[in-house]
Structure 1
Amino acid sequence: MVLPQAARACGLAAASDVSGGWLTGQLTALRGRPGLRLTVACVAPRQRRALCGTLDGVQYHILPQAGALGPLLDETEPDLAHLWGTEYAAAAALQQAAAARRLPLLVGIQGVMRDCAAHLCGGVPAACLHSTPLDRLLDSLIPGALLDKAQADFDALARSEAALLGQARYVTGRTGFDRRAVTELAPEARYFPCNETLRPLFYTGTLWHARDFGSAPVLLLPQGNYPLKNLHTLLRALPAVLRRWPDAVLRIAGWPPVDKGPLLRPVLDRLFPYQRYCRRLAHELGVAEHVRYTGPLDAAAMRQAYLDADVFVLPSQSENSPNSLGEAMLLGLPCVASCTGGIPDMLQSGAEGLLYGKPLDAEALAQSLCAVLAAPDGGAALGQAAHTRALHTHDPAANAETLAAIYKTILQEGAP
């Protein structure tokens, strides 16, 4: 991805801070440290030519192809390279270029694709998982979101990432989930723990406060357009919430399912089977009128969305240390999440929020949501404890110091 800072430095339009949260936060905390010269490279195949610019003392390069990473290393002559985005082709290109130049390479992981691929389509009916020749023909003309195609892509990314980690010498991660994955996939690598730093806007300003929501609490889901994020289980949990709070609303951050009117709807239904399934499921359950999409939100709008909600819900089937959960905790919003991946390392269930067991257990999810909403304080005590925990986990100065110390340790060991 092109980081917002890189887009601004290189004069690109629409540099909104919609994604790249942990990179944005860590970069903000690192820049300006004495003795540290930072060059950030983003590979963006849609760009026709290489772009370069400087912002706040950091040099940014936006490259049209991964093959340009080697020449960039020759040009900038870094002492160390830090790789993010382990599953993509650019990652392998950087690993190869660094090895050819005997340049130390630190691999940063944010969870592993192997786990994402294994749980990508859990709980989705088999009829949605298999495309027909007609579906694939339509997809070649109008790119959609066919689930068997997505599964094949995730499986390929998992293999690519596993191959890269198998050659890694230094790896940094955040959670016990990370550490276990590195033990299996990168047994020869040295592992360095380092927590993530989130977007600066979430460390300042107004915190969340409980409100009298009456019969209309607001549930906030950060993403719902592919089955790994498990909107379908949340929809199944919603009727139990509505029985107690009949005007409850589920807000989903991001684009709503594509709809171009009744004439094209049959085509889009074929191209977007998960969205079709969720739409039909919501109607069958009688909850469709309670589901609202916000459209894409930049950092400021996302911050306000947290403050306007009564509970944050993250029912994902695979996660490591999700930015959205960290941001919600920083603001003190009470959280309900699945007990999966690295999430238990971020939040203590019962004290800082509620975790429910199996991600596909709609009844357990509903019980957890109702428990927070029915709490006499509206979940304020959970939110305050989460805020305190998140300030420690996502402390920008401490995390920048830890990462700088990791760099120093690697450099002291010398080139591979």
Structure 2
Amino acid sequence: MSIQQNQRRIPFVDLAAQYDSIAPEVDEAIARVLRGADFILGADVAAFEREFADYCEIEHAVGVDSGTSALELALRAFNIGPGDEVITQANTFVATVFAIAYTGATPVLVDVDPSTYNMDPELLEKAITPRTKAIMPVHLYGQPADMDPIMEIARRYGLIVIEDACQAHGARYKDRRVGTFGHAAAFSFYPAKNLGAYGDGGMVVTADAQVADAVRLLGNYGQREKYHHLQSGFNRRLDTLQAAVMRIKLRHLDEWNAARRRHAERYSEVLPESVVIPSVPSYAEPVWHLYVIRVPQRDAMRAALAERGIATGIHYPIPIHLQPACRNLGYERGAFPVTEAVAEQILSLPMYPEMSNDAIDYVASAIRDVLEREQPAPGLARTAD
């Protein structure tokens, strides 16, 4: 019997399985909004903002229509715009950089730590110029960035810090939730995130009431009351239906994150020795939005796993500075050697709370089988250095 005939199917994420586990709660929440016809800035939006702020252990949360908007409006709340520079990392999702550019500011990229794939604080300081106004560290893959040195550099130079926590709902750095270190932080509720909507959504969190008010004004046409516009603004409001859904899902988030941590531990135990598994610093409690390994001949590995029914992802195959849309930033190939090297090797394995140990073992066994059959060139250590 061929592999194709005998294979299992392991999805990259399984949103249907998650819905099935909470369907009655979600259906009732949606029906309540529909019955009340409370669609724009409804009661569930305000309730979810309070509940998410409490969850993040911070004073204020303002719902918006996407994680990208959350990043942009957080920057705008600090009057960051044309003539300013904002430093972020070269291996993030493009929305991080686009959000900076939308304000008229210039994104400045730095390379990353080869073991965590997060911003390298030493390189951060070297990138600061007289035009630098803000730093945007990314808690990539749900792994907290090393915030203490980043905040120390920011204090020394008088810079704003906006945390891109779009992949890190519930993660902790030294026992504090990410999103509580900078002057503000942005979260995304894209459906596949640890806390995902059934569409797009986002949130800005901050300890500063004035910043929260500024974001709220910017996201709702510059108005506090209808048709009374205090300033120019945008239509970036969080949808009431999405807020109602996420109020339900927020109650399950810690349980789901705990399951992801168990899955990550099992992956790390059963994957072959020749695979570079994620490295977790002592300061970090990740939430494993993604479990990202490194393998030689990554594209061949991905194709072989697909033949065995295993879906994978690459986050991200093309670094920011090599994207055609970002050529105007002025960087050439070779500018960020760590980012460029890992982009050729990273592979995101299936990761979602409802996975079984048996499914994880099947993925690991398939990877071992591919490595033994194809015998790729050695040279990678067990964990990233």
Q: Which bin holds the TM-score, normalised by the shorter protein?
A: under 0.3
| TM-score, length-scaled by structure 2 | 0.26
| TM-score, length-scaled by structure 1 | 0.24
Larger RCO: 1 or 2 (CA < 8 Å, sep 6+): 2
